[in-house]
């Protein structure tokens, strides 16, 4: 039997070995999910789904420590941040419970023309069909919640293929759901090869694809969807931040240090490109460097650790290469710039990298923050908008008019004012635009996308 080995990204130790499903086993999972959706007699009513989710939440609340250790050990996110992820995941289940009762249609006016008299019309929202979720490594539990729970909440079967480096949290979530009373075939984890995952993506029995991961893979998979299959793709960004000359650095710098180095920068909206007004760039950079140098890097299971490892050793190699190239192309290393070990890289601040350097053009997905000087706001906005990536962005300023101008001009799906780009709560819309993705996440928004509208028109001579 083929297996995958789940190893600690910090020290490489084996956590667990998991069987890899073959083509026939994957087909069986998909066939059962599709058969379930086709048989309306097996559909769970809203109150039944609510009861299962309430029990799921209750079980998760009793296992916060266990879930935290699983998430931290397989993903490398520090223990303190992994605990926050677990608490967010529990709240995500609660959000789904609350929004089940808000799935509704509307009345469509009739009688406004002679042809529409004697009719009532209403829309209904129905589950879309079998949902296939393909997930990333960086938030193994919370991403599983965002891709499984909304689907079940609206009453549609879901199959999740988690990242092979971090499958344990998704497996644990589905086990908890089954412990809470989830019937078979409603939510299943599939650990399989890329080819078998792609076969599911192309299958006409899949009605909705939820993909979180690299843009190269996501856009390629979208091109292979069966006609009519809808999708949401969430890719990375290269989060731009503008810091005005009037920004309160006592608030700005700690926020950007957190947003840039959280989870070693392995976040799709991690602070990466910071455009700082030339009048304050020296002071800003000095304070950011002090924050970066004070961060505790190391074992994610140590409660004191603030920055853990990168997910794979080859990612350390890549970040090191990109930083070295940026320096050769004119960037100045203000702090960091070296690997600590095969798995950890120093929190790094680069000053004025060339606009064509990889760190300026692409998502670093590592603990690297780039700082650039600007003199006029419009120049900073233009540089922030210069990439095809467009996700979350930010501006720090005390001037409301400047803030509103930036919000209006920045090409982003969200603009944070006086907060870092990695801010998120799970009831807000969340997703990239342009090359950074399509569709919208966030628990209630995913629930809406995982349903479709049906119109009912009633004709009666008494109306």
Look at residue 16 in the predicted model and tell me its pLDDT: 96
Would you tell me the crossing angle of helices 281-294 and 249-261 to the nearest 10 degrees? 50
- How far apart, in whole angstroms, are the C-alpha atoms of residue 105 and residue 110? 16
Which residue ranges of the chain lie beneath pLDDT 50?
none
Q: How far apart are CA 64 and CA 90, in angstroms?
A: 9
Domains annotated on the chain, with CATH: 3-236+436-459 (3.40.605.10), 239-417 (3.40.309.10)
What is the number of other CB atoms lying within 10 angstroms of the CB of residue 317? 14
Alpha-carbon gap, residue 88 to 428, rounded angstroms: 13
Residues 6+ apart with CB under 8 A from 121: 107, 108, 109, 110, 455, 456, 457, 458
Which pLDDT does position 226 carry in this prediction?
96
Task: Find the angle CA(368)-CA(369)-CA(372) to the nearest 5 degrees.
Answer: 140
Using CB atoms within 10 Å of the CB of residue 3, give its burial: 0 to 12 exposed, 13 to 18 middle, 19+ buried: exposed
7 is written with which tokens?
């190893």
461 burial (CB, 10 Å; 0-12 / 13-18 / 19+) is exposed
Nearest to 371 by CA among 345, 402, 334, 336: 334
Query: What pLDDT score does 163 carry?
Result: 95
Number of other residues whose CB lies within 10 A of the CB of residue 61: 13
Q: How many helices (H) and strands (E) does the chain have?
A: 15, 20
Q: Which residues are catalytic?
A: 234, 268
């Amino acid at each position: 039997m083929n297996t995958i080995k789940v190893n600690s990204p910090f020290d490489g130790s084996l956590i667990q070995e998991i069987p890899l499903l073959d083509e026939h086993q994957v087909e069986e999972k998909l066939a059962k999910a599709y058969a379930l959706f086709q048989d309306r007699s097996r559909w769970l009513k809203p109150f039944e789904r609510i009861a299962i989710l309430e029990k799921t939440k209750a079980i998760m609340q009793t296992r916060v420590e266990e879930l935290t250790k699983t998430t931290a050990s397989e993903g490398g996110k520090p223990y303190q941040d992994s605990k926050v992820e677990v608490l967010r995941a529990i709240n995500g289940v609660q959000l789904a419970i609350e929004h089940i009762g808000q799935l509704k249609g509307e009345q469509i006016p009739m009688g406004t023309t002679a042809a529409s008299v004697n009719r009532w019309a209403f829309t209904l929202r129905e589950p879309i069909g079998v949902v296939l979720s393909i997930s990333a490594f960086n938030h193994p539990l919370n991403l599983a919640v965002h891709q499984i729970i909304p689907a079940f909440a609206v009453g549609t079967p879901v199959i999740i293929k988690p990242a092979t480096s971090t499958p344990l949290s998704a497996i644990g979530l589905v086990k908890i759901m089954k412990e809470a009373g989830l019937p078979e075939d409603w939510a299943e984890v599939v650990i399989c090869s890329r080819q078998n995952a792609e076969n599911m993506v192309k299958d006409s029995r899949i009605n909705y694809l939820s993909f979180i991961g690299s843009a190269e893979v996501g856009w390629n998979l979208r091109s292979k969807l069966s006609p009519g299959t809808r999708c949401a793709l969430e890719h990375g960004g290269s989060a731009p931040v503008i810091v005005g000359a009037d920004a309160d650095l006592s608030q700005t710098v700690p926020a950007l240090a957190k947003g840039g180095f959280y989870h070693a920068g392995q976040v799709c909206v991690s602070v990466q490109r910071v455009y700082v007004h030339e009048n304050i760039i020296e002071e800003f950079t000095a304070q950011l460097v002090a924050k970066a140098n004070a961060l505790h890097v190391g074992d994610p299971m140590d409660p004191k650790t603030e920055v853990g490892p990168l997910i794979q050793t080859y990612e350390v190699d890549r970040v090191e290469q990109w930083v070295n190239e940026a320096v050769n192309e004119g960037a100045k290393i203000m702090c960091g710039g070296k690997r600590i070990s095969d798995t950890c890289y120093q929190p790094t601040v680069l000053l004025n990298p060339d606009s064509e350097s990889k760190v300026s053009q692409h998502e670093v997905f590592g603990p690297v923050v780039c700082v650039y000087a600007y003199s006029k706001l419009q120049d900073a906005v233009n540089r922030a908008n210069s990439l095809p990536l467009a996700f979350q962005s930010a501006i720090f300023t005390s001037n409301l008019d400047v803030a509103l101008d930036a919000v209006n001009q920045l090409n982003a799906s969200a603009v944070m004012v006086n907060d870092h780009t990695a801010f998120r709560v799970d009831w807000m819309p969340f997703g990239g635009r342009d090359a950074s993705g399509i569709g919208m996440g966030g628990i209630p928004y995913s629930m809406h996308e995982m349903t479709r509208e049906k119109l009912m028109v009633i004709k009666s001579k008494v109306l």
